[in-house]
Structure 1
C-alpha cells in the first residue's frame, strides 16, 4: 500500500473515521426517530 504514496496507517485512519461517522449517523437517526415518536 505504501507504494501508492499513502502509508497504510493513513488508509486505516480513513476507514476508521468512516466507520465512526456511520455509527454516529445511525445513532442520530435512532435518536431522532425516538424523539419524533414521543420518547420511549
Structure 2
C-alpha cells in the first residue's frame, strides 16, 4: 500500500497518539510506504 500526504502531514487528523500509532504501523509493515509530496 502506498500512502501519499502533503509535506505537513495534513492527510491525517486526530490526536497525536493516533497519528504516531499509524506512523509506527507504516514503519514496521513491509507492504506499506509513506510518501510526502508537494503541490508545487
- Relative to the length of structure 2, the TM-score reads 0.40
Greater Rg by CA: 1
Pick 1 or 2: higher relative contact order, CA cutoff 8 A, min separation 6.
Answer: 2
- Relative to the length of structure 1, the TM-score reads 0.40
Structure having the higher strand fraction is 2
